[in-house]
Amino acid sequence: MTAKAEPLTVRDPRYDILFEPVKIGPVTAKNRFYQVPHATGTGSAMPNTRAGIREAKAEGGWAVVCTGYCSIHPTSDDRHYPFSSLWNETDIKAQAVMVDAVHRHDALAGVELWHGGGVVANKVTREAPLSPSGIGEPVYVTHPIQPRAMDKADIADLLSWQRDAALRARSAGFDIVYVYAGMGYLPFQFLVSRYNKRTDSYGGAFENRARLLREMIEVTREAVGDDCAVAVRLTAEENMGANGFRGDVEGEALFDLIGDLPDLWDVKLGFADDGVTSRFTEEAYHEPFIRYVKTKTGKPVVGVGRFTSPDTMLRQVKSGVLDLIGAARPSIADPFLPKKIEQGRLDEIRECIGCNVCVATYAEGVPIRCTQNPTMGEEWRRGWHPERIPARGSEDHVLVVGSGPAGLECARALGQRGYPVTLAEAERELGGRVARESRLPGLGAWARVRDWRLGRLDDLANVEIYRDSRLTVGNVLELAPDRVVLATGARWAPDLPDGADGAAPDVASSIVVMTPDDVMAGATPSGKVLVLDLDPYYMGGVIAEKLARDGHGVRLVTPNTAVSPWTAFTEEQHRIMVRLLELGIDVVTSHALQAVDGKGAELASVYDGKPQIVACDTLVVVGSRRPVGDLAKALDERGDDAQAAGIKDVRVIGDAYAPGAIVHAVASGHRYARELDANDLTVRVEPGDGTYVRGGR
């Protein structure tokens, strides 16, 4: 139930082409929206959670919904990463749960059959990794083992494993079955000379190197029969020069050989460039590198590029780049993106911000979550739907204090449920940390977290918003709402961590000490700037970048072995480091700050304690954040007065409760709104997934 009836809407005829059916071999996609294979951090151990994620996409209008990578044999064991498999009859049953969920909404279900080859370590199955010539990929293999070179019997086994997995896929009910020849995985390793040093009929000339892929397509076709499509997912360009797969060399040669052999080509870039964050790329950034594919095949082509604009999608089709609009991240941020375009509700699209939190959760081996879409991964576990939410359970009036990501999401979801809501913001500008951070270099897309919620709040007559309204405890008691939600956020603290002697480093009074909040508020540093980066995420690097772009001489120092180390999970740490060096920022890793005085900052190696002195006039501390809790404390102290005023409950959410990333704040606000007056807070647990379940809050 929503606070107002859903308006009758009509699709803009410009987008009619996006809703044309597309024939993919023996099956037909009802429109051009194609959720390409992407990991969900669920794997075979969590079939119901995985099915819930995929079903939301199918219900939301995606014509094709695919699994993530699905292993064909125990020699392709990617744990600790949670992957799917089709090794046996039990796996068929687990996969069928997802297929049935997708079919309930008249969508096609695709499965990406996968063998990782020399990229995987087989830590659990303890099988030796395989590769064309015994060459692995140490960047991705997190285990000290080298793959063995495959002989002809191994290749015959691989083809048999692919055939058997394809047969199981058909038994599970899949409509599209993939051969995965990308991202450095085994069939792709045969295509590329840096992996393939063979001198037999599977090596040497490119036609020989392409032989395995041809044979894998053929055995897959034989296995699935005449009523199931065969797709190939290909890394169409690696951007590695002569050492990599080049679209204008190997790519064109491959399509000359087998361009019309499969029913569909799913094309993308390599590991380093496939899912780049919005900080470093624009929408549709794959286009220049995969454009050649359509000129070389008569079969449908699907590709990605973090498409969020219907106009960009339209251009991809009309200009002949793609036949189908592929999406992973945009389909996570808004599973109902196709239906919103179809129904003319473009302003309701919850656009992906390109932060890659979804990618990070997979890399950490846990179920997927999304900054924009707090229901992602909770569809089955908690029964959360991305568009629908239960009607209010009472007439309670809720006061939400603070319009950061937690407060906005809380007010929006409460308003959608039908509660009367008052949202009070101390500042003129709404958005809290999102408004401030989205003005930092590269983070402009993050403003979508604020903008989408403000757009939805504008549609809710039962939500009142008050700007420039810094509330005191007296104001709250005077308003006397039934419930109070404090989303007052957190602020960066200038505190320095204690050293080995238990005392914080000394900082001379002549040194200007600032925090990221000061920088974002426009404070101007003086002289040489030292950014002390104690935060594992993005803030230290982006603050240093801003100051350098503003013309300041900047040195970044961190005790970590790398700048912004957690961004390795979002696949941007390397790019961050390159950007800092390009801007002339002096980066000093693995060093702790000992003291700062008129002579400069004294640093010490975290390994041997060897000191060095560097210039420093302004110290910017990127450390920890403190919850803004004055109002919460005051209300707690006046609990009797709050009770007398009729206030039933005071709850702290978001960064004010526990400082984290924006994704945590949004989820906190959404959870409060979902659970208010709820009778059932059950969290369903998959067999053996180890999830800890507790009640409310």
The pLDDT tens digits for 405-437 are 999 999 999 999 999 999 999 999 999 999 999
Do 508 and 601 share a structural domain? yes
Helix H or strand E encompassing 627: strand 625-627
Three-state DSSP at 463 gives: strand
Q: Which two tokens stand for residue 355?
A: 């932060």
Tell me the whole-structure pTM to 2 decimals: 0.95
- Other beta carbons less than 10 A from residue 214's beta carbon: 16
Counting every residue written for the chain, the total comes to 697
Q: Which of 27, 9, 113, 25 is nearest to 64 (CA)?
A: 27
> Annotated active-site positions, please?
185
pLDDT mean over 3-18: 75
Do 569 and 644 share a structural domain? no
Do 303 and 285 share a structural domain? yes
Does the pLDDT at position 161 exceed 80? yes
Q: Which domain holds residue 502?
A: 494-623
The pLDDT tens digits for 235-255 are 999 999 999 999 999 999 999
Question: Given this model, what pLDDT does residue 280 score?
Answer: 96
Residue in this structure with the two tokens 């045969």, named with its chain if needed: 190
Do 531 and 452 share a structural domain? no
* Domain presence at residue 88: yes
The CA-to-CA distance between both ends of the chain, in Å, stands at 23
Q: Where are the alpha helices (DSSP H) in 583-689?
A: 630-637, 639-644, 662-675
Helix H or strand E encompassing 111: strand 108-114
Question: Given this model, what pLDDT does residue 143 score?
Answer: 79
pLDDT-based confidence at 688, cuts 50/70/90?
A: low
* Domain presence at residue 211: yes
Do 189 and 141 share a structural domain? yes
Do 652 and 597 share a structural domain? no
Three-state DSSP at 671 gives: helix
* Domain presence at residue 118: yes
Q: Which of 487, 482, 480, 479 is nearest to 453 (CA)?
A: 487
Report the distance separating Cα 483 and Cα 465, nearest Å: 16
Q: Considering 347, 363, 379, which residue would you say is the last residue of a domain?
A: 363
Mean pLDDT of the chain: 95
The pLDDT tens digits for 456-498 are 999 999 999 999 999 999 999 999 999 999 999 999 999 998 8
Question: Given this model, what pLDDT does residue 598 score?
Answer: 86
The lowest-confidence range among 7-21, 54-68, 590-604 is 7-21
Q: Which two tokens stand for residue 598?
A: 């008129």
Does the pLDDT at position 134 exceed 70? yes
* Domain presence at residue 434: yes
Q: Considering 341, 363, 385, which residue would you say is the last residue of a domain?
A: 363
Do 268 and 417 share a structural domain? no
Question: Given this model, what pLDDT does residue 694 score?
Answer: 58
Question: Given this model, what pLDDT does residue 59 score?
Answer: 98
* Domain presence at residue 275: yes
The pLDDT tens digits for 622-657 are 999 999 999 999 999 999 999 999 999 999 999 999
* 20 backbone dihedrals φ, ψ, rounded to 5°: -75, 145
Do 305 and 235 share a structural domain? yes
Name the DSSP class of 541.
H
Question: Given this model, what pLDDT does residue 695 score?
Answer: 55
Q: Looking at residue 545, which CATH number applies to its domain? A: 3.50.50.60
Q: Looking at residue 634, which CATH number applies to its domain? A: 3.40.50.720
* Domain presence at residue 509: yes
Do 667 and 607 share a structural domain? no
pLDDT mean over 554-572: 97
Does the pLDDT at position 4 exceed 80? no
The pLDDT tens digits for 277-304 are 999 999 999 999 999 999 999 999 999 9
Helix H or strand E encompassing 358: helix 357-363
**Partners of 303 in the β-ladder:** 267, 325
pLDDT-based confidence at 401, cuts 50/70/90?
A: very high
- Other beta carbons less than 10 A from residue 315's beta carbon: 15
Radius of gyration of the chain (CA): 27
pLDDT-based confidence at 548, cuts 50/70/90?
A: very high
Residue in this structure with the two tokens 């000490």, named with its chain if needed: 513
Does the pLDDT at position 673 exceed 50? yes
Do 480 and 332 share a structural domain? no
* Domain presence at residue 12: no
The lowest-confidence range among 267-276, 377-386, 516-525 is 267-276
Q: Looking at residue 259, which CATH number applies to its domain? A: 3.20.20.70
Report the distance separating Cα 55 and Cα 66, nearest Å: 11
> Domain total for the chain?
3
Do 485 and 498 share a structural domain? no
pLDDT-based confidence at 154, cuts 50/70/90?
A: very high
The lowest-confidence range among 88-97, 101-110, 629-638, 675-684 is 675-684
* Domain presence at residue 682: no
Do 585 and 517 share a structural domain? yes
